[in-house]
Amino acid sequence: MAIEEVKWQERVTPELVQQYKRDGVVFIDQLLHPLWLQLIEMGITRVLNNSTRKQTFFAGDEGQFIDTVRNWEFTPEFQRLTYDSPIADILGTFIDSPRVWLLFDHVFVKDGGNCRRTPWHQDLTYWPVAGTQLASMWITIDPVPQHECLEYIAGSHRETLYDGFDPPRAAEDPTLPFYGEGFPRLPDIEANRSQWDIRSWDITPGDVVIFHPGVLHGGGPTSEGRRRRTLSVRVFGEDVVFDERPKSRPTVPRTPGLELVLKPGDPLRHPYYPRLRPLPEHQLQNFFE
């Protein structure tokens, strides 16, 4: 008998979808089957061994904080995950879009000693996109106690979009701007935590956090002896369009040539963004025929 998939349709209720729209973030326990976590672990291992696109934050610190984006093209485990698992269906339900495209995959690893907090930021600032149908699923394959969990500010996706933090200068000041133009500078949230509606959870592998890229989030430090390996799967739906960002820095991930094909306001359709739902024709072949 085949192993049973998690019945995600019973867990993703209309109330939860409403909560996502209001808060921009929801936590769902044990939504992903352990077999998908195995696939993610294999994918992260391949990425760490192969990717040349790694960025290290806080250079010189004892702990390592690596982030690497868009490894999907050469990570078959991530392809199988995004085509075969219910992740795209779940995110499609939250963004209310029958068609779902992958914006990109994003791996974060904190390892080898104390690792600082990820600075507060909104992902949307770094991406050349606009629209409402956007969501990321943050998946950890290592347990994360609440005091080391990523933190989210409920409702902030409906407020100001700030400039990003600047990864190479994050140790100096985590509010130093990424572009330095076009957006207001990040507020010092750490200095005034009580003024913000901060959410976080104790996380066991299999639990997920689904969040809107306009939500302010940060945190997730790791202490001595702990390792945190996470994958964020970022998707978008039908109303998302190409949008401009200040020219002072490239957007994330780098997409050379995109602006030669798309102008601001054009639907975000490009080979950079594979469609996950409905499944593309080449994924529908019957391998048993």
Ligand X SMILES: O=C(O)CCC(=O)C(=O)O
Q: Which residues bind ligand X (CB under 6 A)?
A: 106, 108, 118, 123, 136, 138, 150, 217, 220, 230, 232
Q: How far is the CB of 4 from ligand X (least distance, A)?
A: 29
Q: What is the C-alpha separation between 56 and 78, in angstroms, rounded?
A: 22
Residue 121 · residue 175 · CB < 8 Å: no
Please provide the distance, in angstroms rounded to a whole number, between the alpha carbons at the two ends of the chain.
21
Query: What DSSP string runs through 60-129?
Result: T-SSEEEEEE--GGG-HHHHHHHHHSTHHHHHHHHHT-SSEEEEEEEEEEEESS-B-PEEEE-GGGGSSE
Q: Based on CB atoms, which residue is closest to ligand X, 12 or 25? A: 25
Q: Based on CB atoms, which residue is closest to ligand X, 75 or 262? A: 75
Q: How far is the CB of 125 from ligand X (least distance, A)?
A: 11
Q: How far is the CB of 150 from ligand X (least distance, A)?
A: 5
Q: How far is the CB of 57 from ligand X (least distance, A)?
A: 9
3-state secondary structure of 185: coil
Name which of 72, 49, 46, 68 is nearest 57 in CA terms.
68
Q: How far is the CB of 245 from ligand X (least distance, A)?
A: 17
Q: Based on CB atoms, which residue is closest to ligand X, 106 or 157? A: 106
Q: How far is the CB of 122 from ligand X (least distance, A)?
A: 9
Residue 187 · residue 162 · CB < 8 Å: yes
Residue 45 · residue 217 · CB < 8 Å: no
Q: How far is the CB of 217 from ligand X (least distance, A)?
A: 6
Q: How far is the CB of 213 from ligand X (least distance, A)?
A: 7
Helix%, strand%, coil% for the chain, nearest 5: 25, 25, 45
Q: Based on CB atoms, which residue is closest to ligand X, 137 or 262? A: 137
Q: Based on CB atoms, which residue is closest to ligand X, 230 or 255? A: 230
Name which of 53, 59, 99, 56 is nearest 72 in CA terms.
53
Q: What is the C-alpha separation between 43 and 218, in angstroms, rounded?
A: 24
Q: Based on CB atoms, which residue is closest to ligand X, 217 or 277? A: 217
Residue 142 · residue 227 · CB < 8 Å: yes
Q: Based on CB atoms, which residue is closest to ligand X, 91 or 262? A: 91
Residue 143 · residue 203 · CB < 8 Å: yes
Q: Based on CB atoms, which residue is closest to ligand X, 71 or 230? A: 230
Total residues belonging to the chain: 289
